[in-house]
Amino acid sequence: MCGRFVSATPPDQIARYFDAVDDTAEAAAPNFNVAPTTDIFVVRSDGQVRRLEQLHWGLVPFWAKDPSIGNRMINARAEGIAEKNAYKRAFLKRRCIIPADGFYEWSVVPGQKKKQPMYIQRVDGEPLAFAGLWEVWRSKEQPDEQLRSCTIITGSPNDKIAAIHDRMPVILPPSAWDRWLDPTFADVDLLGELLVPAPSSLLTLHPVGFDVNNVRNNDAHLVDPVDPATPSEDAGTLPLGGIGP
């Protein structure tokens, strides 16, 4: 799963990296502890132009009675995504990229009660391109109001991530961006071929402090390497996770 990540790169730089128009309303502060149900950066395409926007993290299908279902749909499992009622329409027409500087995962450590948080990023420090889906939800009571939401697709881990967790976000290479973002491309078999683990050589990881467990902690020290044997005083609780039904 992917329940926490880092989004510290300014939106104008993200837009340039993904060759997108920056449609974000205002400059966002660096976020070293992005949590579910917040608004996050998303790259979408109308078939002609890529745009960087902010969407609610936690997919709310168009048929949902209320937005609360999004709280447990922050991740969508790649397996069977083209057939699942919650995702199949978005998989055909509403795919997106969710940029991230890195993400956190929690690893079981023999002899320790608490799981060890790990920070995972590209070896070259460039942004990650998570495969995502987005949707539009309208309230029956106020149909003119829209909620645009998204989810991160997860799949099997590569060898490096498998040592700490049994799933990881699907990370798209630049060669896949055009096909993935094209809303007119609807070959589910070819799209499914993109939902594979990123090469182990793409990523590096290291243990970080337990401060990341608490969403109130949010600054650059969260990604600093630490001695994995020593928890901090403000360890907090494990983060909110979530996978789609």
Catalytic pick from 53, 96, 105, 135? Answer: 105
Neighbour tally for 37: CB within 10 Å? 16
Instruction: Give the distance, in angstroms, between the CA of residue 58 and the centroid of all CA atoms in the same chain.
Output: 10
Concatenate the DSSP letters of all residues of 146-172 into one string: EEEEEEEEEE---HHHHTT-S-EE-B-
Q: If we measure between CA atoms, which residue out of 141, 148, 150, 65 comes closest to residue 100?
A: 150
Neighbour tally for 198: CB within 10 Å? 21
Residues 6 or more apart whose Cβ sits within 8 Å of residue 230: none
Catalytic pick from 2, 53, 96, 135? Answer: 2
Whole-angstrom distance, CA of residue 219 vs CA of residue 244: 29
Q: Does 145 participate in catalysis according to the annotation?
A: no
Neighbour tally for 9: CB within 10 Å? 17
Q: Does 193 participate in catalysis according to the annotation?
A: no
Q: Catalytic residue numbers? A: 2, 105
